[in-house]
Amino acid sequence: MTEETGISVRELLPGSFSRLGQTLQEAASRENGPGERTLPGFAWRIAGSEASSALQTALDTDVFSLLARGWGVARELAKYADRSKYPAAVTTIVYLGKHSVTAEVHPVLIVSIDGIEWPPFRFTLALSANFETVALVIRDAHIIGLDSGDCSVSAQLRYGEVPLPGELQSRHVALPGCLRFKPPGIAIGSPT
Amino acid sequence: MSDDQMRTLLLIALIATPSLGLAQPAGQGADCSAVVIERMAMQHRMPNVEGCLGREVVQELNRTDHRALERSVHHWEAPDRIVSQSPAKDTELQHNTPILLDVSDGSLPPPSKPSTADVSVQAFIASKKPFLAGEKLRFAIRVANAGPATATGVAAYFQTENLKIFPTSGECSERECRVVDLQSGANATLDIVAGILGPGPFSFGVTVRHAPTDPDPRNDSVLIRDLAEPRPAAANLGVSADLQPSGPYHVGERVTVGVLVRNGGPQTATNVTIEQRLTNLQLLRLAGDCRQVACVVPSIPSESGVKFELQATVSDAGEFSATFSARGAQQDLNSADNSATVRGTATAPDVVPPNPSVHTVRTLLEVLGACGLAGLGLSYPVRIARWRSRIRVRAALEGTATAKPPSGIRIAAPAVSLRTRLERGVAKPHGTIPIINEEVRHD
C-alpha cells in the first residue's frame, strides 16, 4: 500500500503472542464442540508459535494507509471530492488540527495441522490514532499521502471480544513528511 | 263482472299500418286502418281513451262498428294510460303488425300475484372421503324456487349431529343462513363448513322456510348422514430456521443458524429424522438437540419441539444456503412446512495486500534425553522448534526405548501449515476534524 511511511502495524505489537496457541486451542474447542475433531495440546502450541510470526508478517503493513480510510469518510473533507472546486490537476495540502481516527483490520489465520484444515480464525486488530496535527496531500478526490504530522498510535489485537492480554501498546509518532500512499490513494467520500 | 274482467290490465290488439304512430307513445298521430279490441267490455264506451291512445286513434276507433267491437270485447275499464306496449316504442312497424297494449286506468287494484312458491333444497358433501374425526367438511347447498311466486324471507335452518358449523359469512350463523328473497326460477347456493367432532355417525340436515305457501313442502328439507373415521396416527412437524448475523456477509465469516423443529400434533412424532444440506458453507459445529448432519430424534411430543444450532463458515464468494428438513414415522398433516432454508450472499473480503502469506513449518521433536519413567510411558524433555516443554512419548518409542535412550532422537511432529490474509474493517474519524488551513499547489 505504501511507499515508506516509517511505521508498520507490527511495530506496534509485541514480538510474539505468548498465549496465541492457547487462544487457538480454546477457540477450536469452543467452536467445534466437544467430541468433534481434536488435536493434542502440544500441536496447538506448535501452531500458536508459528501463528504468532505469521500474524506479525500479515500485519507488516503501513499503519497510516489503514487509518487514512477514516479520513476518506470524514464529512469535513468531503468537499475535496468536488472536482469543480478542486480540479484533478491541482494538489491541495490540508492541515488538520487535533482529532482522532480509528480503524479495524482483521488478520485471518487459516491453520492446517497434519493436512487437516481448520476453520479460519478471524482476529481483529483495532488501531487508534490521536493526531495533534497532520497534513493531508489531496489530489483528484484522493488522499494520496501525508506531509507531516504528530500523533500517538495504539493497537490492540483480540479474538472475538477477548483481547489478547498484554498486547496493547501506544506509541508516539512524528510523521517525517512526504509519505505517499499507493496510487490512486484513499478515495474521499467512499465507504469504508 | 268476473274477477278476471275486473283486472286493470287490458290487452288491446291493434293491427297497424306501416309507420303507425302507435309505436310511439300510444295515440300520438296514429293512423289505424283497422282496430280489433279483444277482451274489452264496452260498458263505458271508452272514456278517457284519448288520453290513453290518442285522439287520432280514438277517432279511428269511433269510425268502426262499435257493436262489432262489443262482440269481441270481454272487459273494459276506462283505460287512461298505457302500462306497456309491444312492439317497443320507436320500433318501425310493418303492415299488419299486431300491437299489444297493456292499458290501465289505475282505478282498480293490481292483478293479484301467484300465491305459492315451490322452494326446494338440495345438499351434498363437497369434501372427499374418508371423513376423519377432527377434520372440516364442506357442504354445498342449493335452494331453488320453482315459482310461480317470488319466495320471500327464505332461510335455511340446519340440524346437526356430531358436527360443528363454522359460519362463513355474515348471513349465516351456526344454525341458519338467510337467503332473503328468491324470484321464481332463481336459485341460491350456500357453502357451509363444519368440523367433525368425533369418530362415528354424523348428520347434516337443512330445512328451508319462506313465504308464501309452498305447494310441495316435501322438498323443503334434506338430511345427509355419513360416518366419520377416527384419525390415523398423525403429527405435524414444522421447521423454522434463523440466520445470524443478518449480513452483509463476507468469505470466511462465521454464521450461526438457529433451528427449531416443532410438532404441532396431535400425536407424538417419533423417529424424527432431521437432515441438513449446506451449500457454500463449511460446517464448524452442531450444538443442541441435533449434533449430526443427519440426526434422529426419538420422539417429539405434541406441541413441543427440539432446538439446535449450526455454526459454519462461508467458503466462497456468492450465495450460500442451509436447508433443514424433518420427517417422522407418522403421517404429517402439513408437509409443506417440513423444511426451511436460510440464504445469504457473501462477498470476497477486502484484503490488504500482500495476500496471502503462507508459512509451512515442519517441526521436529528433539528428544534431549530420558527423564525417567512416568506411568506406562517414558517421559523425555523435548524441544519443539523454539518451544520447550515436556511431553510423554508412548508407543512410538516404547519398542525401542532403552533404560538410557540415546539423546538426539528426532521425531517428526505434526506438520503445521499457516496461511494468513488481512481483511479491511471499518475506519472512521471521531468527533469533528478541524481544518486549520489549506494550501493549493499547481504542478
Q: Which of B208-222, B344-358, B408-422 has the highest mean pLDDT?
A: B208-222
CA B346 vs. chain centroid, Å, equals 35
Query: How close is the nearest chain B Cα to the Cα of A62, in Å?
Result: 10
Predicted complex ipTM: 0.85
B230-258 in b/e form (b: 16+ CB < 10 A) is ebeebbbbbbebebeeeeebbbbbbbebe
A92 within a domain of the structure (yes/no): yes
Q: Are residues B223 and B255 in the same domain?
A: no
A80 within a domain of the structure (yes/no): yes
> pLDDT tens, B187-208?
888 889 999 998 999 999 999 9
Q: Which of B72, B104, B136 is the last residue of a domain?
A: B104
* Whole-angstrom distance, CA of residue A112 vs CA of residue B315: 16
B111 within a domain of the structure (yes/no): no
B341 within a domain of the structure (yes/no): yes
> Is the CA virtual torsion B153, B154, B159, B160 positive or negative?
negative
Please indicate whether, in this complex, the C-beta atoms of A69 and B419 are within 8 angstroms of each other.
no
The 10 Å Cβ neighbour count of residue B368 is 14
Which residue, among A156, A170, A127, A161, has the nearest Cα to A23 in the 3D structure? A161
B440 within a domain of the structure (yes/no): no
Query: How close is the nearest chain B Cα to the Cα of A1, in Å?
Result: 7
Q: What is the pLDDT of residue A101?
A: 94
Query: In which band, very low, low, confident or very high, does the pLDDT at B77 lie, cut at 50, 70 and 90?
Result: very low
Q: Are residues B246 and B325 in the same domain?
A: yes
A44 within a domain of the structure (yes/no): no
Under 8 Å CB pairs connecting chains A and B tally to 203
B73: Cβ contacts below 8 Å, ≥ 6 apart? B37, B38, B39, B40, B41, B42
* Mean per-residue pLDDT over chain B, rounded: 70
Closest alpha carbon within chain B to A90? B442
> What is the CATH classification number for the domain harbouring B261?
2.60.40.10
State whether residue B274 is helix, strand or coil: strand
Please indicate whether, in this complex, the C-beta atoms of B427 and A192 are within 8 angstroms of each other.
yes
Q: Are B220 and B209 in contact (CB under 8 A)?
A: yes
Question: Between B70 and A18, whose confidence is greater?
Answer: A18
What is the average pLDDT across B386-395? 36
A68 to chain B: which residues are within 8 Å by CB?
427
State whether residue A140 is helix, strand or coil: coil
Query: How close is the nearest chain A Cα to the Cα of B252, in Å?
Result: 6
B442 within a domain of the structure (yes/no): no
B217: Cβ contacts below 8 Å, ≥ 6 apart? none
Q: What is the pLDDT of residue B243?
A: 94
Burial class (CB in 10 A: 0-12, 13-18, 19+), B61: buried
Query: In which band, very low, low, confident or very high, does the pLDDT at B103 lie, cut at 50, 70 and 90?
Result: low
A70 to chain B: which residues are within 8 Å by CB?
427-429
B136 within a domain of the structure (yes/no): yes
Q: What percent of chain B has pLDDT over 70?
A: 58
What is the average pLDDT across B17-45? 33
A94 to chain B: which residues are within 8 Å by CB?
435, 437-439
> Is the CA virtual torsion A87, A89, A90, A91 positive or negative?
positive
A4, A72, A178, B440 from A151: Cα distances, Å: 17, 18, 16, 24
Q: What is the pLDDT of residue B246?
A: 86
Whether B325 has a pLDDT exceeding 90, the answer reads yes
B406: Cβ contacts below 8 Å, ≥ 6 apart? none
Question: Between A167 and B183, whose confidence is greater?
Answer: B183
- Host domain of residue A134: 62-187
B143 within a domain of the structure (yes/no): yes
B443 within a domain of the structure (yes/no): no
Q: Are A136 and A175 in contact (CB under 8 A)?
A: no
* Whole-angstrom distance, CA of residue B193 vs CA of residue B169: 11
Domain count, chain A: 1
Q: What is the pLDDT of residue A2?
A: 40
B424 to chain A: which residues are within 8 Å by CB?
66, 69, 105-106, 192
> pLDDT tens, B274-315?
999 999 998 888 889 998 888 999 999 999 999 999 988 888
A160 within a domain of the structure (yes/no): yes
Least confident of A163-172, B255-264, B289-298, B369-378: B369-378
A46 within a domain of the structure (yes/no): no
Q: What is the pLDDT of residue B44?
A: 34
List, as one string, the DSSP characters of B167-223: --STTB-SSEEEEEEE-TT-EEEEEEEEEE-SSEEEEEEEEEEEESB-S-GGGGEEE
Q: Which of B349, B352, B439 sits opposite A1 (nearest CB)?
A: B352
Please indicate whether, in this complex, the C-beta atoms of A54 and B357 are within 8 angstroms of each other.
yes
My answer on whether omega of the bond before A107 falls inside 30° of 0, hence cis, is: no
* Whole-angstrom distance, CA of residue A33 vs CA of residue A112: 18
Q: Are A13 and A105 in contact (CB under 8 A)?
A: no
Q: What is the pLDDT of residue B82?
A: 55
B284 to chain A: which residues are within 8 Å by CB?
31-32, 119
Q: Which of B252, B254, B416 sits opposite A50 (nearest CB)?
A: B416
> Is the CA virtual torsion A81, A86, A87, A91 positive or negative?
negative
* Whole-angstrom distance, CA of residue A79 vs CA of residue A94: 12
Phi/psi at A170 (5° precision): -125, 140
User: Which residue shows C-alpha cell 313465504?
Assistant: B211
Q: Which of B18-22, B94-98, B194-198, B369-373 has the highest mean pLDDT?
A: B194-198
Q: Which of A49, A96, A98 sits opposite B386 (nearest CB)?
A: A49
- Host domain of residue B82: 3-104
A77, A83, A92, A95, B82 from A89: Cα distances, Å: 18, 9, 10, 19, 98
A89 to chain B: which residues are within 8 Å by CB?
442-443
Q: What is the pLDDT of residue B114?
A: 56
Q: Which of B285, B423, B432 sits opposite A105 (nearest CB)?
A: B423
State whether residue B247 is helix, strand or coil: coil
Please indicate whether, in this complex, the C-beta atoms of B422 and A57 are within 8 angstroms of each other.
no
Please indicate whether, in this complex, the C-beta atoms of A119 and B284 are within 8 angstroms of each other.
yes
List, as one string, the DSSP characters of B37-106: --S---TT--TTHHHHH-HHHHHHHHHS-HHHHHHH--------EEEEEESPTTPPPPTTEEEEEEEE-S
A174 within a domain of the structure (yes/no): yes
Q: Calculate ∠ Cα B265-B266-B269, nearest 5°.
A: 55
Q: Which of B228, B246, B272 is the last residue of a domain?
A: B228
Q: Are residues B121 and B223 in the same domain?
A: yes
My answer on whether omega of the bond before B245 falls inside 30° of 0, hence cis, is: yes
Please indicate whether, in this complex, the C-beta atoms of B441 and A92 are within 8 angstroms of each other.
yes
Mind listing the pLDDT tens digit of every residue in chain A (192 residues)?
444 456 788 777 777 777 777 787 787 777 654 444 566 666 677 777 778 878 888 888 888 888 999 999 999 999 999 989 999 889 999 999 999 999 999 888 888 776 777 778 888 889 999 999 899 999 999 999 888 888 888 888 888 877 776 555 577 877 777 788 888 889 998 654
Q: Are residues B19 and B87 in the same domain?
A: yes
Q: What is the pLDDT of residue B296?
A: 92
A74 to chain B: which residues are within 8 Å by CB?
429, 433
Domain count, chain B: 4
* Chain A interface, best mutation among B352, B380, B411, by max A CB count within 10 A: B352
A32 within a domain of the structure (yes/no): no
What is the average pLDDT across B349-369? 47
A179 within a domain of the structure (yes/no): yes
- Strand pairing class (B81-86; B151-161): unpaired
Please indicate whether, in this complex, the C-beta atoms of B422 and A73 are within 8 angstroms of each other.
no
Whether B18 has a pLDDT exceeding 70, the answer reads no
Q: Are A151 and A134 in contact (CB under 8 A)?
A: yes
Q: What is the pLDDT of residue B443?
A: 64
Query: In which band, very low, low, confident or very high, does the pLDDT at B262 lie, cut at 50, 70 and 90?
Result: very high
